[in-house]
């Protein structure tokens, strides 16, 4: 069972599965902690695969593909969201989400399931998970994936950026972190790069980040991919800096004092 909430404001703490048999009502209880009040209305996406990762579309008819976590209309959605009243926003706290579905007992189902060693993945998805922090921005960060968020490893950010109009004279990417209680962390270049040139970059990190638009300005209208990778030091200073690792990341694109784009999203660093 995987509850996919990496870099999220929701973290699964305990998962219990009952009646995992063909012909029975399978019940999955996920005890999850919400760290911060959110106005998002995420959807729970459910998929099933073999232990080797091969998807099993043949059992999709028995398992709901998507369940609303707020304002759900179906019985399954109302059961799922009963502990937070089927409403958003969900306040910080510990909740148990209940997921139930019946697997068919048929020759086709037995052939599909095979030896029965399966992985159920529940992923929380919301198009607005990346929060814009400036209105009418000329640059919009539309998607971010983060990997290797662990001290001593090279953390990697891959962002899809939509440039709405030709921009850029001397743009700088400003990276900052804050805790969920609102405490802003100071800029410490020895731990994270705080400012990166988005055009005419000279460092290896900047050149890789700016590769998709040729490391030159102005940047024409279009959709680009930027990759930022740097090593998180495994030092006592870094551990103290990141604390429990539950952080909010703010990314600003600033050009001569003007904010061209800004986005915030949650991040979990393994300390």
| Total-model pTM | 0.54
Instruction: Name 64's Cβ contacts closer than 8 Å, sequence gap at least 6.
Output: 46, 74, 76, 101
Q: What's the CATH architecture for 131-268? A: Distorted Sandwich (2.70)
DSSP 8-state code for residue 185: P
Contact (Cβ atoms closer than 8 angstroms) between residue 154 and residue 230: yes
- Whether residue 96 has pLDDT greater than 60: yes
pLDDT of residue 7: 39
In the predicted model, what is the mean pLDDT of residues 220-246? 91
Q: What's the CATH architecture for 2-125? A: Sandwich (2.60)
In the predicted model, what is the mean pLDDT of residues 173-183? 82
- Whether residue 132 has pLDDT greater than 60: no
- Whether residue 81 has pLDDT greater than 60: yes
**How far is it, in rounded angstroms, from Cα 211 to Cα 228?**
11
For the chain, which residues make up each domain, given as ranges? 2-125, 131-268
- Whether residue 130 has pLDDT greater than 60: no
With bands split at pLDDT 50, 70 and 90, how would you rate the model's confidence at 233?
Answer: very high
Summary mean pLDDT of the chain: 81
pLDDT of residue 1: 37
- Whether residue 97 has pLDDT greater than 60: yes
Percent of the chain with pLDDT over 70: 79
pLDDT of residue 115: 77
Residue 57 burial (C-beta neighbours within 10 Å; 0-12, 13-18, 19+): exposed
Contact (Cβ atoms closer than 8 angstroms) between residue 91 and residue 37: yes
**How far is it, in rounded angstroms, from Cα 10 to Cα 27?**
21
pLDDT of residue 4: 39
């Amino acid at each position: 069972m995987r509850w996919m909430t990496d870099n999220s404001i929701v973290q699964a703490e305990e998962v219990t599965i009952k009646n995992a048999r063909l012909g029975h009502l399978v019940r999955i209880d996920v005890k999850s902690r919400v760290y911060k009040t959110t106005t998002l209305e995420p959807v729970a996406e459910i998929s099933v695969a073999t232990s080797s990762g091969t998807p099993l579309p043949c059992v999709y008819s028995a398992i709901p593909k998507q369940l609303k976590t707020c304002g759900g209309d179906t019985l399954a959605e109302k059961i799922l969201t009963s502990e937070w009243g089927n409403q958003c926003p969900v306040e910080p706290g510990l909740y148990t989400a209940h997921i139930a579905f019946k697997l068919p007992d048929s020759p086709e189902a037995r052939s599909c399931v095979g030896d029965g060693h399966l992985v159920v993945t529940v992923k929380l998805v919301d198009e607005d998970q990346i929060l814009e922090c400036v209105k009418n921005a000329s640059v919009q960060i539309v998607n971010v994936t983060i990997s290797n968020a662990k001290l001593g490893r090279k953390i990697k950010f891959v962002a899809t950026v939509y440039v709405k109009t030709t921009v850029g004279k001397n743009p700088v990417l400003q990276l900052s972190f804050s805790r969920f209680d609102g405490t802003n962390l100071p800029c410490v270049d020895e731990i994270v790069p705080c400012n990166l040139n988005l055009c005419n970059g000279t460092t290896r990190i900047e050149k890789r980040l700016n590769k998709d638009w040729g490391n030159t300005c102005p940047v024409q209208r279009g959709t680009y991919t930027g990759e930022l990778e740097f090593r998180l030091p495994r030092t006592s200073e870094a551990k103290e800096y990141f604390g429990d690792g539950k952080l909010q990341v703010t990314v600003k694109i600033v050009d001569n004092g003007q904010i061209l784009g800004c986005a915030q999203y949650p991040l979990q660093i393994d300390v």
